[in-house]
């Protein structure tokens, strides 16, 4: 009897073995359709997975610029440095710069609240003055810039809608960082962008889709 009571007490006091506790079943992460493109620059290649399923309008616009050779010969012209957070931090910007021979019509805005995307490190996002004015200029995040995501509670319509993320760098973040670290001209740029313009803009020699086997 004593042995039975002692064994019963042990069962009550001791935790169940790990194999006796069923592990929670986690749902597999969804896989979204993307389209890979490469920006061949004078400082190296940057490969980007465009979110053609989650941000179809913005990704299709970028692909049109590529397919029509409108990005061949454009430049990365801006490097914004941020002195807070993990370094390096900030973004680089490039694009058609309103060149009438390159620029296409403005596109409908796809906020991050709709796409589920975010301005994390490596994100590519459309430059714009206000929602619905983006066309052929874009930025790549060097560090997390989630403050650029849509904020439904913001009073300013720009911040309420945020900027439109439409892809992520998958290869070549070292090239992005090298462009970001390139010298800037303290005299170039207007307003708060003064001092953010690259002294020697980095040329995108060719922008193309990545060939799939």
Label residues 98-127 b or e (16+ Cβ within 10 Å = b).
eeeebbeeebebbbbeebebbbebbbbbbb
What pLDDT does residue 9 have?
A: 41
Strands (E), 85-188: 90-95, 123-126, 137-141, 165-171
Please state, in angstroms and as integers, the Cα–Cα distance from residue 59 to each residue in 125, 167, 184, following that order. Answer: 10, 8, 30
- What number does CATH give the domain 32-209? 2.40.100.10
What pLDDT does residue 94 have?
A: 98
Tell me how far apart the alpha carbons of residues 29 and 104 are, in angstroms, rounded to a whole number. 35
Cis peptide before 82, with omega less than 30 degrees from 0? no
Tell me how far apart the alpha carbons of residues 36 and 145 are, in angstroms, rounded to a whole number. 23
pTM of the model: 0.86
Q: Is the dihedral of CA 184, 185, 187, 190 positive or negative?
A: negative
What is the tens place of the pLDDT at every residue in 30-62?
889 999 999 999 999 999 999 999 999 999 999
Q: Which DSSP symbol is given to 193?
A: G
Domain boundaries, the chain: 32-209
Residue 14: pLDDT band (50, 70, 90) is very low
Residue 83: pLDDT band (50, 70, 90) is confident
What is the tens place of the pLDDT at every residue in 144-195?
999 999 999 999 988 999 999 999 999 999 999 999 999 999 999 888 789 8
* Inter-residue contact 141 to 162 (CB < 8 Å): no
Residue 141: pLDDT band (50, 70, 90) is very high
* Inter-residue contact 180 to 160 (CB < 8 Å): no
What pLDDT does residue 20 have?
A: 63
More confident residue, 187 or 86: 187
Given a cut of 50, whether residue 7 has pLDDT beyond it is: no
Backbone angles phi, psi at 35, to 5 degrees: -125, 120
């Amino acid at each position: 009897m004593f042995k039975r009571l002692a064994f019963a007490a042990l069962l009550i006091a001791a935790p169940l073995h790990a194999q006796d506790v069923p592990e929670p079943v986690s749902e597999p992460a969804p896989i979204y359709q993307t389209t890979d493109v490469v920006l061949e620059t004078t400082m190296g290649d940057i490969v980007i997975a465009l979110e053609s399923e989650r941000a179809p309008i913005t990704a299709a616009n970028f692909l049109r610029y590529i397919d029509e050779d409108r990005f061949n010969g454009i430049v990365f012209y801006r490097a914004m440095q941020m002195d807070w957070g993990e370094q390096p931090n900030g973004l680089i910007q490039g694009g058609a710069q309103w060149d009438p021979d390159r620029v296409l019509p403005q596109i409908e805005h796809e906020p991050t609240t709709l796409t589920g995307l975010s301005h994390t490190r490596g994100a590519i996002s459309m430059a714009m003055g206000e929602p619905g004015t983006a066309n052929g200029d874009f930025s790549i995040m060097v560090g997390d810039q989630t403050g650029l995501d849509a904020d439904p509670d913001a009073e300013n319509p720009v911040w309420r809608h945020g900027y439109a993320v439409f892809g992520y760098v998958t290869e070549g973040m070292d090239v992005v960082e090298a462009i970001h670290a390139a010298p800037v001209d303290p005299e170039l740029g207007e307003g708060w962008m003064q001092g953010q313009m690259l002294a020697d803009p980095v040329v995108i020699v060719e922008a193309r889709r990545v060939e799939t086997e």
